[in-house]
């Protein structure tokens, strides 16, 4: 666990404030349409109607489909709760609304951000409601529940998740004289196989490549864990863990061997196609998520391919990491009980199942193993690769400086592969910067 002692005092202060706010809410906040939320609205027949203000990060088809497949069904079973779903881009407006005392009742939030938002007092502690209503954390994958928890309190309910694996182009493997049915299991095998697949065309540019470690979901997080590294240990953030350094050094070795400028030229050309590089058929191996399986219906690739766990150095287990979204009640929400009823449904079994079984959601992994089993997702051999990795999936550190850590790692990764610093020194710099930021945000509020 991260050294969070300063936050214990901070959170205690916030809890006191939350109780005070809750007390104010019980006094009868006005609900939209002139009705009221007594703080105990559960949507039972005979009660006044409460409108829950629900902000989501995605508009367009998502908003329309979510209304149709999930929210409409919720309103049928909760006749006294109406849901006003609003698309709000980014999180700036949400933060502003919380600061101004007029937040939505429920907000969709990248689960990765829950820890930092909880630390600054922007979310309601859901632990009392979870205990009261018997929400079982074991209904969710361990990693996704942990990401919604900060200082042993739960601030969000997980919704949706994903995983990462290695896609491989069987056609290019065969063309390179490799067995297309034996994808790499170790980093050494990946290096050796991909080396046979780089092909240049006119002008010295690559026409086909074996592997670019940082393409798509390839990131220092991905390979740090693959190399056995850790980003948090014994209460400290550890971006400069020795194995993380080895991972970044391995990434840099590709930049040097295959020339970063020529690799960048190839990546830029792939970007101009407007489609995932792997589906162009010109990439031998790529780390990407389960979600690109949803592209198959429209892409119809004209080459043979497969997917397998991300290789690790010999002797180490395969790893993946997961992300995803969650639902939270912003601090100061006016209709907390009605909001909680909505969250229990949309992030619980029924709402999760309704969304997962929509016609075009067949390759989405839910945060609830039971729902995945009910939908027999493991009968899809490609999706099964990801599902099998989920119980042990890694997740990014839950810390008030999670975004800072992400940004810093991305920054030094780019510097390293472009030859503008040594991995050890760059990751030491990340350690210094995130520790300084953590000390700054841990200062008690005056």
pLDDT digits (tens, 9 = 90+) for 153-177: 999 999 999 999 999 999 999 999 9
| pLDDT value, residue 235 | 85
Distance separating alpha carbons of residues 10 and 442, to the nearest angstrom: 8
Poorest-pLDDT segment among 112-116, 134-138, 373-377, 442-446: 442-446
- Of all residues in the chain, what percent carry a pLDDT higher than 70? 89
Q: CA separation (Å) from 57 to 87, 106, 108, 304, 396?
A: 6, 12, 6, 35, 21
pLDDT at 445: 57
Q: Residue range 53-78: average pLDDT?
A: 95
Lowest mean pLDDT among 35-49, 102-116, 410-424: 35-49
Determine contact, residues 353/257, Cβ cutoff 8 Å. Answer: no
- Which ranges constitute the DSSP H helices of 196-312? 220-226, 242-258, 260-273, 296-299
Separation of alpha carbons 442 and 437, rounded Å: 8
- How much is the pLDDT for 444? 64
Please state, in angstroms and rounded to a whole number, the distance separating the CA atoms of residues 69 and 90.
24
State residue 46's pLDDT score.
58
- pLDDT tens-place string over residues 409-425: 999 999 999 999 999 99
153, 205, 437, 439, 440 from 443: Cα distances, Å: 20, 52, 10, 7, 6
pLDDT in tens, 340-368: 999 999 999 999 999 999 987 778 899 99
Q: Which residues are CB-contacts of 249 (< 8 A; sequence separation ≥ 6)?
A: 423
Judged by DSSP in three states, 152 sits in coil
Q: Rounded to whole angstroms, what are the CA distances from 252 to 91, 272, 277, 310, 429?
A: 34, 25, 21, 18, 17
What is the Cα 129 distance to its own chain's centre? Answer: 24
What is the pLDDT averaged over residues 365-392? 96
What is the reported pTM? 0.86
Is the per-residue pLDDT at 438 higher than 90?
Answer: yes
**H helix intervals, 259-335:** 260-273, 296-299
More confident site: 354 or 444 = 354
Q: Report the Cα 173 to chain-centroid distance in Å.
A: 31
Phi-psi region of 28 (alpha: psi -120 to 50; beta: other; left: phi over 0): left
- With 70 as the cut, is the pLDDT of residue 374 above it? yes
Confidence at residue 63, expressed as pLDDT on a 0 to 100 scale? 94
pLDDT at 5 over 50: no
- Report the chain's mean pLDDT, rounded to a whole number: 89
pLDDT band at 12 (very low <50, low <70, confident <90, very high): very low
Tokens describing residue 329 = 């009640």
């Amino acid at each position: 666990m991260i050294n969070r002692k300063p936050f214990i005092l901070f959170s205690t202060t916030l809890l006191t404030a939350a109780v005070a706010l809750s007390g104010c809410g019980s006094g009868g906040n006005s609900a939209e349409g002139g009705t009221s939320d007594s703080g105990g609205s559960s949507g039972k027949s005979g009660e006044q109607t409460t409108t829950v203000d629900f902000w989501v990060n995605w508009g367009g088809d998502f908003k329309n489909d979510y209304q149709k497949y999930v929210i409409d069904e919720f309103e049928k079973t909760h006749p006294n709760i109406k849901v006003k779903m609003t698309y709000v881009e980014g999180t700036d407006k949400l933060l502003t609304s919380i600061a101004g005392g007029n937040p939505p009742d429920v907000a969709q939030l990248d689960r990765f951000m829950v820890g930092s938002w909880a630390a600054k007092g922007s979310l309601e502690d859901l632990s009392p409601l979870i205990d009261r209503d018997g929400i079982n954390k074991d209904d969710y994958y361990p990693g996704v529940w942990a990401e919604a928890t900060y200082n042993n309190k739960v601030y969000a309910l997980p919704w949706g998740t994903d995983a990462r694996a290695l896609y491989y182009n069987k056609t290019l493997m065969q063309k390179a004289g490799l067995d297309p049915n034996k994808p790499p299991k170790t980093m050494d095998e990946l290096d050796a196989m991909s080396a046979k697949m780089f092909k240049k065309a006119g002008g010295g540019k690559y026409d086909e490549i074996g592997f670019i470690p940082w393409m798509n979901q390839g990131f220092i997080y991905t390979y740090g864990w693959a190399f056995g590294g850790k980003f948090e240990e014994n209460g400290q953030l550890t971006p400069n863990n020795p194995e993380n350094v080895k991972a970044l050094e391995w990434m840099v070795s590709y930049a040097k061997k295959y020339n970063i400028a020529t690799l960048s030229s190839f990546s830029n050309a792939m970007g101009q196609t407007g489609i995932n590089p792997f589906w162009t058929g010109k990439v031998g191996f790529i780390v990407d998520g389960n979600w690109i399986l949803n592209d198959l219906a429209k892409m119809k690739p004209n080459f043979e391919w497969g997917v397998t766990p991300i290789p690790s150095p010999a002797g180490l287990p395969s790893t993946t990491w997961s992300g995803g979204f969650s639902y939270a009640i912003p601090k100061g929400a006016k209709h907390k009980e009605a909001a909680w009823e909505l969250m229990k449904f949309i992030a619980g079994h029924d709402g999760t199942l309704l969304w997962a079984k929509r016609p075009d959601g067949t390759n989405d992994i839910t945060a609830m193993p039971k729902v995945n089993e009910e939908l027999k997702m493991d009968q899809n051999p490609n999706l099964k690769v990801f599902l099998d990795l989920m119980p042990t999936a890694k997740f990014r550190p839950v810390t008030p400086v999670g975004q800072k850590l992400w940004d810093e790692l991305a920054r030094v990764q780019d510097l390293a592969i472009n030859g503008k610093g040594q991995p050890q020194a760059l990751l030491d710099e990340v350690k210094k910067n995130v520790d300084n930021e953590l000390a700054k945000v841990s200062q008690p509020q005056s």
